[in-house]
Amino acid sequence: MNKKQKSLTNKGFSLVELIIVIAIMAVLVGVLAPQYVKYLNKSKISADTQLADSIHSAITNTMLDPAVTAPATMTAAEKLPDASASDFWKNVYEILGETTHNALVGDLKYDKDATKVTIQYQIVSDSKVTVTISGGKYTTDSQTITIN
């Protein structure tokens, strides 16, 4: 009977075993956390690139509409005006499902600071529109998201 009772009392883990498991988990988190942050940043930049591509497509589709007068060819990039600016921009924002430049900036994933980030467009010709997201964390050429 004594052996039976003794085996029933030794069912848990010892403190040393728990400390070893916690130490192993801490090492794994320490190794995997930087990779996870890097993955998150790449996915946010990819989402912002997709937003710039959507804006590019909306501007291009609106330029192809014969009922809407497109803005003239521009040599310098300008900030996207709001939907109330003209029928052209009203059509662009209807395609995007937003109404203002700040609402589009709010859709950004990587840097949502509306005071620093601008979405700019440049119409080079009837067939070429460039959309650039710049400012905030997109200040250098290597981090500028440009869709041609």
Classify residue 133: in a domain, yes or no.
yes
Handedness of CA 104, 110, 114, 116 (dihedral sign): negative
| 74-128 pLDDT, tens digit each | 666 677 787 777 888 888 888 888 888 778 777 777 766 545 677 777 777 766 7
Q: Say if 14 falls within a structural domain.
A: no
- At 148 the pLDDT is 38
Domain-located, residue 23: no
The domain tally of the chain equals 1
Helix residue ranges per DSSP H, 65-147: 87-96, 101-106
Residues 22-49 have pLDDT tens digits of 999 999 999 998 888 888 877 877 777 7
Residue 33 domain flag: no
Tens digit of pLDDT for each residue in 2-13?
Answer: 555 555 566 778
Could you tell me if residue 52 is inside a domain? yes
Residues 6 or more apart whose CB falls under 8 angstroms from that of 53 comprise 131, 147
* For residue 142, pLDDT beyond 50: no
pLDDT at position 41 is 77
Instruction: Specify the pLDDT at position 9.
Output: 64
User: What range does the domain containing 104 cover?
Assistant: 46-147
Overall average pLDDT of the 9-19 stretch: 82
> Does residue 60 belong to any structural domain of this protein?
yes
Residue 16 lies in a domain: no
pLDDT at 6: 56
Residue 61 lies in a domain: yes
Query: What does the DSSP assignment read for 2-59?
Result: HHHHHHHH--S--HHHHHHHHHHHHHHHHHHHHHHHHHHHHHHHHHHHHHHHHHHHHH
